[in-house]
Structure 1
Amino acid sequence: MEWDNGTIQTQGSPPTTCIYREDFKRLLLPPVYSVVLVAGLPLNLCVIAQICTSRRALTRTAVYTLNLALADLLYACSLPLLIYNYAQGDHWPFGDLACRLVRFLFYANLHGSILFLTCISFQRYLGICHPLAPWHKRGGRRAAWLVCGAVWLVVTAQCLPTAIFAATGIQRNRTVCYDLSPPALAARYMPYGMALTVIGFLLPFAALLACYCCLARRLCRQDGPAGPVAQERRGKAARMAVVVAAAFAISFLPFHITKTAYLAVRSTSGVSCPVLETFAAAYKGTRPFASANSVLDPILFYFTLHKFRRRPHELMQKLTAKWQRQGG
């Protein structure tokens, strides 16, 4: 995963022969990724199954949630390779193509989740602040599916360079799968990594904050519609705001802060190996938080969407009845 386990240092360039003590990765990452796999796979499958079995009542928010669960599911399917890799002390025996695919899936899930959460937030903002606007009421589910298609295209275009920069290499007589880039491409990766942070995180985060600032102002006003239905909509919007803020605070913000700092430090001349090691450890230590998003999404949305809270055992009853009919 890490190019900085041992490379060449040149005059006036950042030190790249640093030998990092990264035993914490073997202790931290395999257990965390195992939990994400064991919990995230069935949870996201349940979300997908429940949404698909209730397609007649499919809302725009449910369409975005379905695509969010698909992104999380794809990432969870790639975790067994990473679990083996880190359990073996950064040994990657699965080949260069699998290395590039795994790195691409991580960043595609990360930035896809950010954009789908932003779409959900914007949809909630429209429903509360502009419920009667004709441009909001037109389109319906078809418009939501078109937006999701556009999001997948944008995410693929954003994250495709990660599959180009990622590669396998030899470190300490073993094959490793570089995470960001091989050492020879560190300087070239820097502008792309910074651009990905700005376009893939900061801009959606700013849009999300703007939506929720307007939404909070509207919810605090006393001249809005009254009644139990209006109160339920306001409560749902408030819960969604808290959920998305929690997802960004726990999963996305620490990872992007440490990743940006690490990219800046490793591209700066004259930085000592202990400083580089500290920033590298901070960045790699926040990767589990980003991965945990695949578990947080279905859990948090289960408590915020009424559809997910309402009699979840009905889905199991339907599936059991279907299996019984097939078996009979």
Structure 2
Amino acid sequence: MNDDLQTCKMNFTTCQRISFDFSGKFLPPVYILVFIIGLVANGWGLKSLLHNWKKLGNVNVFVLNLGLADILYLLTVPFVVVYYLMKSKWIFGEAFCKITRFCFNVNLYGSIGFLTCISVYRYLAIVHPMRVMGRITVKHSVTISALVWTIAGVLSLPDMFYPKHRDRDTLKCYDTTSDNHVEEYLKYSLGWTVSGFCIPLLITLGCYGHVIVLVCRTNTIDKVLKQKSLRLLFILILLFSVCYIPYHVLKNLNLWARVLTKQGKCRGWFNGVYIARQISRGLVCLNSALNPLVYLHGHEDVNALLRRLLQRVRRMFIGG
């Protein structure tokens, strides 16, 4: 929703020109693809979750909330697509711009939080099965889920108080803020990154690092449980490495570039960071399409389900 460095155009008279048109060409098709795949995948995933509710155990509460977070965000995507198709003109009002940004951030940090909870639960089930057996109930999972929603909302709320448009220009909808507040926003963004991303990442890595060591050393762990755990680990690595890590690194680098630009300093990497930042914005949205893999990783017949789905798609295009 933001052309990011676009608010700094006037400061680039002596710097290399930033390719602001890139986001308008790259993001709309990505968002459209994520919207279609995300709705289908989350709908299918939630249906599978409800059918296997008892089989999945207490983790299903987190998985359900993960799906709700995705749907919350996906419902705002068409408005963002319209924004870019209209060459970065926001016609839905400043308040809805901030609401749309808020939904994205709550989805992002809610997703990271729920994935972390799933990792901790899986860790406890494998490493400390006797200690937690019967002690962790659905009520605990619901309470923790409410806490994750609250933390994601609290972390995202200050973002709504930063201007999302250029001064006296309500036709813009930036995903960070205007150039006048970029220094303060960079400090907020760094704190946000540490608390909302780095800490959950370290917890997830710690849990699965211990799980992998235990799985490799012990032969008494059930083979099915081992396979499910390794499959979930692969999914989490995929989500964090493709969606989350590039987004946070490049977001803060891009904000730093804006701060330097405002100070009249030019660097050769500004344009490359801006373009990479736009790509990372497209990638982070993929989490809404990839998260349903978490729903299905514990499904014993997931491969059969995928084959049936592909067969249906093939029949639709071939015509029977």
**TM-score by structure 2 length?**
0.86
Gaps spanning 5+ residues in structure 1: where?
10-14, 317-328
The one of 214, 220, 233 equivalent to 1:225 is 220
Residue 264 of structure 2 corresponds to residue 266 of structure 1: no
Q: Quick one: distance in 1 between partners of 2:12 and 2:190? A: 20
Give the aligned partner of residue 157 of structure 1.
154
Q: SS at 2:129's partner residue?
A: coil
* Structure 1 residues 35 and 174: CA distance shift in structure 2, 3 A: same
Name 1:141's counterpart in structure 2: 138
Change (3 A) 1:311 1:146: farther
Amino acid of the structure 2 residue aligned with 1:101? I
- In the other structure, the counterpart of 1:296 is 290
2:123 is matched with 125
Contact kept, 8 Å, 1:47 with 1:66, in 2: the verdict is no
Q: CA RMSD of the aligned region, Å?
A: 2.5
Q: CA deviation at 1:195?
A: 0.5
Residue 259 of structure 1, CA deviation = 1.1
* 1:160-212 CA-partner distances (Å, limit 9, x unpaired): 112222523369x8811111011211111111100011111111101111111
Maintained 8 Å contact 1:44/1:72: yes
1:306 aligns with 2:299: yes
Separation of aligned partners in 2, 1:148 and 1:264: 34
SS of residue paired to 1:142: helix
Aligned to 2:64: 66
Q: Distance in 2 between matches of 1:124 and 1:37?
A: 30
Decide whether the 8 Å contact of 2:46 with 2:295 is kept in 1: no
Picking from 184, 187, 192, the partner of 2:183 is: 187
Counterpart of 2:194, as a letter, is V
CA distance in 1, matches of 2:232, 2:31: 26
Q: 2: CA distance between counterparts of 1:199 and 1:75?
A: 21
Identify the match of residue 196 of structure 1 among 168, 192, 197.
192
Instruction: Select which of 33, 42, 54 maps to 2:40.
Output: 42
Question: What is the letter of the counterpart of residue 2 of structure 1?
Answer: D
Note closer, same or farther for the CA distance 1:308–1:66 as it changes in structure 2 (3 Å cut): farther
8 Å Cα contact 2:3/2:20 also seen in 1: no
The answer to whether the 8 A contact 2:31-2:285 is kept is yes
Cα separation, 2, equivalents of 1:144 and 1:270: 51
1:166·1:182 contact (CA, 8 Å) conserved in 2?
Answer: yes
* Equivalence for 2:174: 178
Tell me which residue corresponds to 1:2: 3
**1:58 positional shift:** 5.3
1:249 alignment partner in structure 2: 241
The CA distance in 2 between the partners of 1:150 and 1:302, in whole Å, is 21
What TM-score, normalized by structure 1, do the two folds share?
A: 0.84
In structure 2, the CA distance between the partners of 1:49 and 1:5, relative to structure 1 (3 Å rule), is: same
> What is the Cα deviation at residue 27 of structure 1?
1.7
Q: Which has the higher contact order (CA 8 A, sep 6+)?
A: 2
Q: Count the aligned residue pairs.
A: 302
Identity across aligned pairs (percent)? 29
Shift of 1:283: 1.2
Within 5 Å, give how 1:200-211 maps onto structure 2: 200-211=196-207
- The secondary structure found in structure 1 opposite 2:291 is helix
